[in-house]
Structure 1
């Protein structure tokens, strides 16, 4: 599908795994967590139980590293039948702190693309996760000067986007969203009458995967790098 740029006034960007690396750190931490609990279960079982715990806790903790850490602690207690020692819990907490202090690794072509677009379009960030952590990453990235507005959403469903675009006085017909997640960044926008551009990242959280049937009728453009936006706009 080709993007109709004629009426586009505002371009929205997801942050994690669209502007900078994120999911890779979660996968690395999951591997370290499985190693810590290897005396209780197999790696496959630990991964499955951690994912189940994360999904169960989303309504309570939301998205982000802090909720992930709490889910790791809960999972460790469950898998060990309450026998996990304090030293292991301390190591789990340190895994989370390590994630929160990771350097911000900007993806290829991001700054060049934002610099190209900024004079002709209103650029905004629409992301989800922990507010403090997302603010930290944006500040460390050095990208904040490119954006007119930054919004950290509790979730990215159709209603969340509708409410935000209404609040920002943005007509969906004048808006295009750019992101790596079909579930969070692409399909909800198509469903409310906006356009969307998918930039796949090599690692995707299972919760963000979509069924083929959900994707069959959606009309959006897929690009391999954010730098490809330069040839579109």
Structure 2
């Protein structure tokens, strides 16, 4: 007899609501502002390298992204970037922090349906204040039995959360759009990792699927998640 799932974890950004597209729009603005100093491909490569360097200090989220853009602007201009460009980048970050939340298709229905039958939790990484703002605006907050805003999503972090808020990772499921952060670490500790693709993927979040892993599944959209949970529990 298949063991019933006890706890279902949801990622937030680009799983429940749009996020990456706002970063892409700001990157386009960044490229326009710096077009006299660097071609777009070179600029984006320098920005990505800055983000990778800075994650350990700034963490994930808009504030670290803006600081990485400013650092990159200083680097590619030899510290001669105009103050007006710095101001425009700060303003762009403020706009991102105030942008209204737009839920992805099926997000509300999937969380609502599964909250009736399982313990559901939100596990997201990023800036605490910004993630709390987005959750409040989403209207989904009351559906979750727990909310975890973490600095990294690792096997150790998932094990601690699913042990504390569930019956361990073996009876847990994590669904998200990041193979690297949402799926692979959960599968590594014996839980179910469900990949739901989003059209835009941040380069840092790319990873290979855990091919051949019994507890790895992929769905086209969140509307398919309740039926997948039923199939898993039916064995």
TM-score by length of 1: 0.94
Cα separation, 2, equivalents of 1:80 and 1:9: 54
- In structure 2, which of residues 223, 229, 235 is the aligned counterpart of residue 227 of structure 1? 223
Residues 113 and 226 of structure 2 are in contact (CA less than 8 Å); yes or no, is this contact kept in structure 1? yes
The range that moved more, 168-177 or 199-208, is 168-177
Q: Offset of 1:5 from its aligned partner?
A: 6.9
Residues 197 and 223 of structure 1 are in contact (CA less than 8 Å); yes or no, is this contact kept in structure 2? yes
Q: Secondary structure at the match of 2:104?
A: coil
The range that moved more, 51-60 or 223-232, is 223-232
State the match for 1:21 in structure 2.
18
State the match for 2:233 in structure 1.
none
State the match for 2:189 in structure 1.
192
TM-score by length of 2: 0.93
Residues 159 and 168 of structure 2 are in contact (CA less than 8 Å); yes or no, is this contact kept in structure 1? no
Q: Offset of 1:7 from its aligned partner?
A: 1.8
State the match for 1:110 in structure 2.
107
Cα distance change on mapping 1:134 and 1:221 into 2, 3 Å: same
Residue 161 of structure 2 corresponds to residue 161 of structure 1:
no
Per-residue CA distance 1:119-161 (angstroms, 9 max, x = gap): 1101100010101000000000000011000000100011111
- In structure 1, which of residues 116, 124, 133 is the aligned counterpart of residue 130 of structure 2? 133
Q: Offset of 1:209 from its aligned partner?
A: 0.7
Per-residue CA distance 1:166-191 (angstroms, 9 max, x = gap): 33353111101111111000010000
1:51-90 to 2 correspondences below 5 Å: 51-90=48-87
Q: Offset of 1:162 from its aligned partner?
A: 1.7
Q: Offset of 1:218 from its aligned partner?
A: 3.3
Residues 7 and 173 of structure 1 are in contact (CA less than 8 Å); yes or no, is this contact kept in structure 2? no
Mark the runs of 5 or more structure 2 residues left unpaired by the alignment: 231-235
The range that moved more, 133-142 or 108-117, is 108-117
Cα separation, 2, equivalents of 1:30 and 1:151: 28
Q: Offset of 1:6 from its aligned partner?
A: 3.9
Cα distance change on mapping 1:5 and 1:31 into 2, 3 Å: farther
State the match for 2:144 in structure 1.
147
Cα separation, 2, equivalents of 1:113 and 1:180: 15
- In structure 2, which of residues 205, 213, 217 is the aligned counterpart of residue 218 of structure 1? 213
Q: Secondary structure at the match of 1:107?
A: coil
Mark the runs of 5 or more structure 1 residues left unpaired by the alignment: none
Q: Give the ranges of 4+ consecutive aligned residues of structure 1 lying more than 6 Å apart after TM superposition.
A: none
Q: Would you say how many aligned residue pairs link Structure 1 and Structure 2?
A: 228
